[in-house]
């Protein structure tokens, strides 16, 4: 009988927390990055981001859908780790401990990265994209 290798807890946690965070904030990071590389103008970058938010700046349906997808990615990461870990012959207490550590890693890193990217994209939009949009529309502040 061959023994299956136990999944790497740190790599698994990083992979799913980073993926979930990026999926949840894609509405803001994607236009900022595309603008940064000159692939999109200020007007289009803001209209892309506005698609996900309401007029008052609160989360719209698109933003909520992205956050739900991010949550699903995190939950799937935990589920698939548990499933893969159950193929290994390790002690049940260690399996539970690993699952708790992984869940906290995905939760803390995912939310932390999401909030960091949200803050960065807000700053980037205010500093670079909004002034460019105003130039493109010839709006004086």
Asked if 74 and 106 touch (Cβ cutoff 8 Å), the reply is yes
Asked if 24 and 81 touch (Cβ cutoff 8 Å), the reply is no
Give the total number of structural domains in the chain.
Answer: 1
Residue 99 lies in a domain: yes
- Residue 76's domain spans which residues? 9-137
Residue 21 lies in a domain: yes
Instruction: In whole angstroms, give the CA distance from residue 15 to residue 74.
Output: 10
Residue 4 lies in a domain: no
Instruction: In whole angstroms, give the CA distance from residue 6 to residue 117.
Output: 32
Residue 60 lies in a domain: yes
At 22-62, the pLDDT tens digits run 999 998 899 999 999 999 998 898 888 888 888 787 888 89
Task: Write down the pTM of the prediction.
Answer: 0.84
Task: Please list, in sequence order, all residues whose beta carbon lies within 8 angstroms of the beta carbon of residue 1, skipping any fewer than 6 positions away.
Answer: none
At 66-97, the pLDDT tens digits run 999 999 999 999 999 998 887 776 788 888 99
List C-alpha distances in Å: 4 to 1, 83, 84, 94, 95.
9, 12, 9, 16, 14
Residue 1 lies in a domain: no
The rounded mean pLDDT for the chain is 89
Instruction: In whole angstroms, give the CA distance from residue 32 to residue 40.
Output: 9
What's residue 1's pLDDT? 47
């Amino acid at each position: 009988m061959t023994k299956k290798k136990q999944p790497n807890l740190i790599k698994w946690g990083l992979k799913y927390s980073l993926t979930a965070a990026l999926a949840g904030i894609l509405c803001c990071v994607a236009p900022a990055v595309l603008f940064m590389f000159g692939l999109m103008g200020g007007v289009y970058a803001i209209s892309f981001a506005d698609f996900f938010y309401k007029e008052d700046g609160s989360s719209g349906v698109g933003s909520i859908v992205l956050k739900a997808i991010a949550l699903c990615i995190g939950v799937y990461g935990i589920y698939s780790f548990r499933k893969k870990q159950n193929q290994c012959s390790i002690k049940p207490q260690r399996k539970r401990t690993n699952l708790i550590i992984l869940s906290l890693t995905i939760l803390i890193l995912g939310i932390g990265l999401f909030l960091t990217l949200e803050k960065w994209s807000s700053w980037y939009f205010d500093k670079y994209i909004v002034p460019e949009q105003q130039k493109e529309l010839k709006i004086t502040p």
